[in-house]
Amino acid sequence: MSTLILNKRDVQDLLRMPDVIRVVEDAFISLGQNKVSMPPKSYLVVEHGDFRAMPAAITGAAGIKWINVHPKNKAKDLPSIMAVLIYNDPETGYPLAIMDATQITAYRTAAASAIASKYLARKNSHSLGIIGAGHQAHTHIMAHLECFDFESIKIYDLSKTATGRLIDSFSDYPLTVCSLEEAVASDIVCTLTPSKSPILKHTWIKPGTHINAVGADAKGKEELEPSILDKAIVIVDDLGQASAAGEINVPLSNGIYKVDQIHATLSEIILGKKKGRTDDKTITIFDSTGIAIEDIATAKLVYEKASLEFADRYISVDLV
């Protein structure tokens, strides 16, 4: 028995967004049915960033992702987020693969947002607002285009280089660079920044808007004015993780928002255990922290494609 070694290019070649959306939604269903094992995400904070250990097991697969977030890496010509995933056979523990998980992270995060939008946004949503034009912006547009037919996609970022790169990536689709307030005035808004102070004002949010709050994924991060939460139905990916490190973490710690104000988890919405949007005026928020079952489900997809279809292309080693 051998272990597949899959680098970033290998993983990228094997990822297809429709497939990732499918397996991530299945993972949320399994989570809601108590068919997964997922300990809390563990943080290791260092001077210039942090590391996160994310273990999980789903049916037929287990593993752990080791991911870093170093916001100042761009100055060193390095990605601010990098990840490696060890993928194991849950029956024997054998390491079936060691794979780059940077792209897995980007794809599965965007897939979760698109799934949330599918269940929570208005059915007649025709505009997408992207706040932050980094790599997550690219995959979030990809994922949402699988689920919606947009008339406009508006993007905002402080960096002209970042917005230019994003526009070039979607040369066949008209992306518009605009002000922050204009981008927020969209049917679906994705916030993808590392901000530690609110950048979206409650007066900018139109009735009926759906927001995927993605950037706040560690203690102290916050992208939305807390008053937006009070006006909205808030859905989380994982209650414990969102409370400790999601968009709601700062308002909770400040005592201006309470856990019992959270409406549901995404799993409960997908399974129909709780209702999401009930009218076209409700503001809905998906507090996305990124959970480990998303990674393992996507890694399982990658491994099965690599081992069953293209095994001869990849490096394999005997680790045990």
Domains of the chain, with CATH numbers? Answer: 3-105+292-317 (3.30.1780.10), 111-287 (3.40.50.720)
Q: Which residue has the tokens 């709050």?
A: 213
What does the pLDDT average to over 22-51?
96
Q: What are the pLDDT digits (tens) for 56-112?
A: 999 999 999 999 999 889 889 898 889 999 999 999 999 999 999 999 999 999 999
Structure tokens at 118: 């599918």
CB 67 within 8 A of CB 82: yes
Tell me how far apart the alpha carbons of residues 143 and 130 are, in angstroms, rounded to a whole number.
13
Amino acid (one-letter) located at 268? E
- Which sequence positions are flagged as catalytic? 65
Overall pTM surpassing 0.85 (yes/no): yes
Q: What are the pLDDT digits (tens) for 154-183?
A: 999 999 999 999 999 998 888 999 999 999
